[in-house]
Every structure is written in structure tokens, then in C-alpha cells.
Amino acid sequence: MIKKQLLCCSAVLSLVLLSKLYSYNLVANTETPDALLHDSLSQGELLQEDISNIRNTPYFASLNFADETLPLGDRLIEKKMLKHLKEYSFATRQSHLLHHKALKTLPRVATILRQHGIPEDFKYIPLVESGFTSGTTSHRGASGYWQFMPNTAKAFGLRVDNVTDERQDVEKSTLAAAKYLKALYREFNSWTLVAAAFNIGEGNLLRAINRQNEDNYFRLKLNRETGSYVYKLISVKEIIEHPNRHGYRTNTLLADATDSDSHASHKL
């Protein structure tokens, strides 16, 4: 009787072990290899709910602004980056007209920036600031493609008066922006901090750096707009340079390109 019970127990135990072994092999065989995952990102499947699927991929590590990368390993920073990538995807926003305008205007802006030693990634600031639309003026008085305040515009060579406002001239305002960005870099020695200073003002940024004893943009605690600014720039850069990863459709682009430019005046 005891031998029969032992044989039954052994049989049950063997079945349990075999079941677990089968389940383990099934899971192992269905996991996505890094190479395949990276390939799927290039096919427009970036928008995932769980950041753990992409945070350690070569794609995510490649995200940068002016060759300054995110401090990887910080889950909060990585989640914030993924949030903005989703927000600026073609599926979420009507970004096709913006893409169309960028293809026409970005080369002119990039040439001027390059001539003055400014990283070309700064050409995306007018897309974030004004949607590459002149004539837009904020409630604080910032205006033009680069959304210059009047005093800053004048300080870097632009004419702003009742007769002429050179902030609305894309080439002249880009030249002024290049001079301003170069001056900011001499002060901060970091292009991500330069972008932040362009948004919040150098005085405000310096006070934040000194108060927090922190000079890494991604780790600084800044106001909501400035704290998201570089993430927005990286996201717009991604959408323009790798549209197929973010929901781009050629037929939609052609349809949207015929719409009124009023759609592009929406500030990103």
C-alpha cells in the first residue's frame, strides 16, 4: 500500500516538474530579442505603455540633443522622454504640415547656425517656439520665428520698432539667434543648458543651478515649461529625422500640406 502511494506521489511530482519546464521554455522562446525589438522600433512600433521594453535598447540610448545624451538608468527621466515622444508622434498630433514646413525651411536655418559654430539641433527651436510661423506674439511680447523678446532681439542686432520688426525675418532672426546661443554657451558650456537658458533666461537658470548645486539639465528642477523644453526638442528632432518610427504616412502629409498655415501657428 505504501509503495503504491509513493509511486503515485512520484508520478504527480514528475508531471508538475514537466509542466513547469514546458512553461519556462515557452516563455523563453517567446521573448523578443534586442535585435528584433530594435528593428520593430524602426517600423513605427515605438508607442508602448511599458518603458521597460525599450529603455535598454540602442535606439533609446541614441536619443540626444546636440550630442548630449540623457543620463540613462534614471527611470523618471526615461519615462519623461517616452511621454514626450508619444505626445509629438504623428498619431497624437497633426504633425504632417509641420514636417512639410520643416523640409522647406530647416536647411536655410541649419546653414546659418553651422556657419556660426552652433549645433544643427538648434534649428528645431523655431518649430517648438512658433511652428515656423512669423507674426506670432506671446502675451509677454516674444515674437517671430525664434520668439525673441524685444530687448534681446535688439541686443543681438535686430531692428524692432513701430516701422520694422526683424524678428519676423527668418534669416536675420536666425543670425541673431546664433549670436545669442554662442554667448550662452560661453557662459554655461553645455548645449542642453543653452537651450534651457534660451527658454527661461540666463539669470533664472544660473540661480537654479547655484541653488541646487546641479549643472545637468536633466537633473535640474525647473519650471514645467523649461523642464520639458529639451525633451520637446529631442522629440521634434526624432519626428523630423525618423518620421516612420512615429506614425508618419505619406498620403496624410500631402493632404495636410494643402491646408491653411494656421494649423502650424499652434505652439508645440
DSSP string spanning 46-67?
---S-GGGTTTSHHHHH-EETT
| All residues at 6 or more sequence positions from 160 whose CB lies less than 8 Å from its CB, including other chains | 150, 153, 154, 166, 167
- In the chain, which residues have pLDDT < 50? 2-9, 11-45, 47-49, 251-268
Write out the three cell numbers for 82. 517616452
State the Cα–Cα distance between residues 152 and 144, nearest whole angstrom.
12
What pLDDT score does 96 carry? 63
What pLDDT score does 173 carry? 96
Count, residues in the chain? 268
Q: Rg of the chain's alpha carbons, rounded to an integer?
A: 25
What pLDDT score does 24 carry? 36
State the Cα–Cα distance between residues 21 and 14, nearest whole angstrom.
11
Write out the three cell numbers for 253. 502629409
| All residues at 6 or more sequence positions from 184 whose CB lies less than 8 Å from its CB, including other chains | 193, 194, 197, 198, 202
Chain position carrying cell 539639465:
217
